[in-house]
């Protein structure tokens, strides 16, 4: 009996030594948090028509840059209208952090996009630079066109 117990203990110790370097898999990153926190790092970046880099962004250039350079590593379309056509539609009021929110600022077609932060706020490259905006303001409420989800 002692021999059997000793054999089991020896096998257990051997297994620990062999598998000692193995660790549990890390939890997958929180894509929504990665996207929103990274976007916030660019607050104050100047607006540049056609801009797609931290030297200057336009609205869709900003969202494209954030989605490509974060853990999401997703190459979304370049224009806000094209971004609106992609992704999964989100019911108004059901937006989640990291969703793209779209606006018809010219009254006719999709012309502006931002990244939803939660609590009725979004971040976007406005004419005054990258800023956090409230969906509760009349301007954004009146021009809101919908949201799309690109995150996994």
Residues 100-136: pLDDT tens digits? 999 999 989 999 999 999 999 999 999 999 999 999 9
pLDDT at residue 1 tops 70:
no
pLDDT average, residue stretch 28-45: 92
Secondary element (H or E) of residue 60? helix 59-69
> How is domain 27-149 classified at the CATH fold level?
endopeptidase fold (from Nostoc punctiforme) (3.90.1720)
Rounded Cα distance between 130 and 47, Å, is 7
CA pair distance 3, 135, nearest whole angstrom: 72
Measured between alpha carbons, how far is 12 from 82 in angstroms, rounded to an integer? 58
- Bridge partners, 112 (sequence order): 103
């Amino acid at each position: 009996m002692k021999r059997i117990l000793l054999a089991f203990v020896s096998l257990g110790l051997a297994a620990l030594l062999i598998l000692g370097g193995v660790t549990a898999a890390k939890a997958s990153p929180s894509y929504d948090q990665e996207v929103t926190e990274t976007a916030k790092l660019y607050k104050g970046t100047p607006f540049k028509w056609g801009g797609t880099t931290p030297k200057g962004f336009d609205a869709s250039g900003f969202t494209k840059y954030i989605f490509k350079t974060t853990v999401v590593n997703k190459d979304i379309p370049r224009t806000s209208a094209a971004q609106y056509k992609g992704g999964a539609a989100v019911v108004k009021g059901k937006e989640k952090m990291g969703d793209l929110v779209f606006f018809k600022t010219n009254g006719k077609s999709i012309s502006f996009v931002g990244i939803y932060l939660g609590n009725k706020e979004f971040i976007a490259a406005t004419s005054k630079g990258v800023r956090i905006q409230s969906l509760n303001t009349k301007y954004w409420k009146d021009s809101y066109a919908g949201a799309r989800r690109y995150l996994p």
